[in-house]
């Protein structure tokens, strides 16, 4: 009987390991597709002047034949006839930053940071009297993260232009913006506290008030109780 038990246990463990590898592979593949889809979207929404300039740069770098193929393929991408070929897509990326506006670079950077930068999750037990005292150190920590968060090395390696030239300036603007977003989240909570206090004051109820604060690089779940 014990022999059968250990055999079944071994099968279960192997199954879990295989499942974990499949899930990890699927997650990595999904993230790879996500960052590719962001950039394809940028390519497909460039204005005519920027796209003409990009094709000229493509022709200069790779020659007239590949440039004609790229132009033809691009039209098919826009119509949905085909999906972007890897080689053509990578060649477009070489010069994409040269035709992007600064605002567009900022938006692309924001998309990548939101998708790939590590996010933390916290939970706090608080009352309407001590929530700010308990929350403030954690909020400062999350705001500081806006200034230190980075993309995974794999992404930065493939898209080196995300860390070059005026992208550095874009990153500084994004960091300040996200830090301010975090402060606004807390400010809005102060306005909602009165409503939470009223719910907790109801004597005939045993309310469980949960409030989730969402920041660019993490979330904080506040579980309010009577104080």
Q: Which tens digits make up the pLDDT trace of 195-217?
A: 888 877 777 666 678 889 898 88
Give pLDDT, residue 11. 42
| More confident site: 176 or 13 | 176
Full DSSP string of 145-214: HHHH----HHHHHH-GGGGSTHHHHHHHHHHHHHHHHHHHHHHHHHHHHHHHHHHHH-TT----EEEEEE
Here the tokens at position 140 are 């400062």
Residue 65 has pLDDT above 80, yes or no: yes
Mean pLDDT of 52-58: 90
Query: What digits encode the pLDDT tens for the residues 88-142?
Result: 877 887 788 888 888 888 887 887 787 778 888 999 999 888 988 999 999 888 8
Q: Which of 42-56, 77-91, 161-175 has the highest mean pLDDT?
A: 42-56
pLDDT at 205: 66
**SS3 for 63?**
coil
pLDDT of residue 13: 37
Prediction pTM value: 0.61
pLDDT tens string 155-191: 777 677 776 777 788 888 888 888 888 888 888 888 8
Query: Is the pLDDT score of 26 beyond 60?
Result: no
pLDDT at 86 over 60: yes
- The count of other CB atoms within 10 Å of the CB of residue 18 is 10
Rounded CA-CA distance 97/152 in Å is 20
Q: What is the pLDDT of residue 22?
A: 35
With 0-12 / 13-18 / 19 or more C-beta atoms within 10 angstroms meaning exposed / middle / buried, residue 178 is buried
């Amino acid at each position: 009987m014990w022999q059968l038990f250990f055999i079944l246990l071994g099968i279960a463990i192997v199954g879990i390991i295989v499942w974990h590898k499949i899930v990890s592979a699927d997650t990595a593949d999904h993230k790879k597709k996500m960052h590719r889809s962001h950039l394809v979207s940028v390519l497909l929404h460039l204005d005519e002047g920027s796209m003409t300039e990009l094709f000229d740069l493509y022709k200069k770098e790779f020659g007239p034949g590949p440039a004609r193929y790229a132009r033809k393929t691009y039209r098919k991408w826009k119509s949905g006839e085909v999906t972007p070929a890897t080689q053509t897509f990578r060649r477009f990326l070489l010069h994409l930053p040269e035709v992007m506006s600064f605002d567009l670079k900022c938006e692309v950077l924001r998309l990548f940071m939101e998708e790939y930068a590590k996010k933390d999750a916290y939970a706090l037990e608080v009352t309407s009297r001590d929530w700010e005292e308990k929350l403030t150190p954690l909020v400062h920590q999350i705001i500081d993260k806006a200034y230190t968060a980075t993309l995974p090395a794999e992404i930065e390696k493939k898209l080196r232009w995300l860390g070059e030239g005026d992208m550095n300036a874009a990153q500084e603007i994004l960091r300040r913006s996200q830090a301010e977003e975090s402060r606004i989240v807390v400010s809005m909570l102060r306005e909602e506290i009165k409503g939470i206090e009223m719910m907790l004051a109801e004597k005939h109820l045993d309310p469980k008030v949960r409030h989730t604060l969402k920041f660019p690089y993490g979330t904080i779940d506040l579980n309010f109780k009577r104080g």
